[in-house]
Amino acid sequence: MPYKVTLIPGDGIGPEVVESTRRVLAVLGIEFDWEIGIVGEAAQQQFGTPLPDKVLESIKKNKVALKGPVTTPIGTGFRSVNVALRQRLDLYACLRPCKTYPGIHTPFQNVDIVVVRENTEDLYSGIEFARGSSESEKLRELITKSGYKPVREDSGFSIKFISETGSRRIVKFAFEYARANRRKKVTAVHKANIMKFTDGLFLSVAREVAKEYADIEFEDVVVDAACMRLVKNPKLFDVMVLPNLYGDIVSDLCAGLVGGLGVAPGANMGDNMAIFEPTHGSAPKYRGQNKINPMAMMLSAKMMLLYLGEKQAAERLEKAVADVIAEGKKLTYDLKPDPSEPAATTSEVADAVIEKLKK
Ligand code: NAD
C-alpha cells in the first residue's frame, strides 16, 4: 500500500525543492500517493482563501504532509499560512535538528543540536491591535488602571501569552524526544527575569517536568546568554526547548552554525499528525532560478520517513545527502566556501543524491 501524503509545493523556491525531493524519494523503493494541496497567494486567487479547508481536511485524513515554504505578505494582506496550519492542526512541537555534516565549511564541527520550538502560543498568537483602534484604546486604559506607566497613544499591540498546558506539553515533548533518541541534556531557554508571568511560567513548568526525567540532565538559560554561548561553544547544547519566538530565532542561529538554511530540516508535530518542512522560507528572489539548495527539504523528507517507520530508507536518504556534501562536487552556492566558485543547480544536487542512492 502506498503512503498517502499531502504534498504542499508552496511558492517562491518551494516547488523547486519539493520537486527535487519527490524525485529523490521516488528511487527509495517506497511508494507514495501524493495529494496536492495549494495554499498561499495561489489559493487566495483560485479559492478566495490562502488556506482552503480542503487542504486542512487532506492533512487531517492523511496525518502526514510534506510542505514547501509559503510566502507571507509583510505588514498587510493575509496572515502566515505556515503559522495557521500549525495552529489549526495543533501541531504544537516544531522539531529542528541542526547538525554539521563532514565537508561543510563552518567554523564549528561536530555540532548536533535539536531545537524544540513551541508552535502555538507566545507572540505568534496573531492577536494584535492596531494603533488608534478602539481595542488599543481599551488596552491602554486597562494598563493605566492596573497601575502601569501609561502606554503612548500611538502604540500598536501584539499579545504574548504562554500557558501552563502549552508549556507542559512542549517540555514533555522535548524530554520524550531526548529519551527516545538517547540524548543527554535538555536546555530550557527563556527570559523569565523580565517576563515573569509568561516566560516565568514556562520556566517553572519546565523545572517541574524535568523532575520526571531524572535520567536526563536539565538546565535553563536566558535567551540572550543562550545565543552568546551557542556562538562561542555550540557543543554545550544538546536538546533545546523554547517558546515560539525564541525558537524561531534560535533555530535560524543554529542553522547558521551548521552551514545555513540550505541544510536545516524541520517538522511540525502534533499528537497524531505531522507536517515536514524545512526551516527556510520561500526566498522569493531565487524563485525559478534552479539555484537554491534542496537538501533541507530532502532532510525534512528523511524526518518524514522516520515518522512513517521507514528507518532504513531514512538512513539511506540521509547518507546519500551526506555523501554528496562530503564529496563537495555537486553543491549549491550556499555551501561553496568561495562564492566565485561555480556551483551546482538545484536539480543537479537532486541528480547527485539519486546517483548515490542507486549505488
Ligand atoms: P528565507 O528563508 O526565505 O530566505 C532568506 C535567505 O536565506 C535567502 O535569500 C537565501 O539567501 C537563503 N536561503 C533560504 N533558503 C535557502 C536554500 N534552500 N538554499 C540556499 N539559500 C537559502 O527567509 P525570508 O527571506 O525572511 O522569507 C521569505 C518568505 O518566506 C517570507 O514571506 C516569509 O514569511 C516566508 N517564510 C516561510 C516559512 C515557511 O513556509 N515555513 C518559513 C520562513 C519564512
**Whole-prediction pTM:** 0.94
Query: Of the candidates 261, 262, 267, which has an alpha carbon nearest to the alpha carbon of residue 67?
Result: 267
Q: Is 33 known to be catalytic?
A: no
By most ligand atoms within 8 Å of CB, the mutation choice from 39, 51, 280, 345 for ligand 1 is: 280
Say which amino acid occupies 238. Answer: D
CA nearest ligand 1 atom 4, residue: 283
CA nearest ligand 1 atom 36, residue: 281
Ligand 1 pocket, residues with Cβ under 6 angstroms: 69-72, 82, 261-262, 277, 280-283, 285, 292-293, 296, 334
Who contacts 275 (Cβ-Cβ below 8 Å, separation ≥6)? 8, 59, 64, 65, 66, 67, 85, 86, 89, 91, 267, 268
Q: Is 124 known to be catalytic?
A: yes
User: How close is the Cα of 113 to the center of ligand 1, in Å?
Assistant: 21
CA distance 301 to 298: 5
Residue 286: alpha-carbon gap to chain centroid: 20
> What are the helix (H) ranges across 189-328?
199-210, 223-232, 244-257, 295-307, 311-327
Q: What pLDDT score was predicted for residue 341?
A: 86
Q: What pLDDT score was predicted for residue 262?
A: 97
Q: Give the pLDDT of the chain (359 residues) as one tens digit per residue.
A: 999 999 999 999 999 999 999 999 999 999 999 999 999 999 999 999 999 999 999 999 999 999 999 999 887 777 889 989 999 999 999 999 999 999 999 999 899 999 999 999 999 888 999 999 999 999 999 999 999 999 999 999 999 999 999 999 999 999 999 999 999 999 999 999 999 999 999 999 999 999 999 999 999 999 999 999 999 999 999 999 999 999 999 999 999 999 999 999 999 999 999 999 999 999 999 999 999 999 999 999 999 999 999 999 999 999 999 999 999 999 999 999 887 889 999 999 999 999 999 98
Strand partners, 276: 66, 267
Going from the C-alpha of 130 to that of each of 87, 139, 153, 159, the distances in angstroms are 22, 11, 11, 12
CA 80, 82, 83, 86 dihedral sign is: positive
By most ligand atoms within 8 Å of CB, the mutation choice from 41, 276, 282 for ligand 1 is: 282
- Per the listing, cell 487532506 goes with 58
Residue 9: alpha-carbon gap to chain centroid: 16
Q: What pLDDT score was predicted for residue 74?
A: 81
DSSP string, 279-290: SS---GGGTTSS
CB 159 within 8 A of CB 127: yes
Q: What pLDDT score was predicted for residue 233?
A: 96
Q: What pLDDT score was predicted for residue 13?
A: 97
Query: Which atom of ligand 1 approaches the CA of 67 most closely?
Result: 40
CA nearest ligand 1 atom 39, residue: 69
Q: What pLDDT score was predicted for residue 102?
A: 96
Q: What pLDDT score was predicted for residue 327?
A: 96
Residue in 191, 302, 330, 356 annotated catalytic: 191
Q: What pLDDT score was predicted for residue 337?
A: 85
- Per the listing, cell 540532565 goes with 217
Q: What pLDDT score was predicted for residue 125?
A: 85
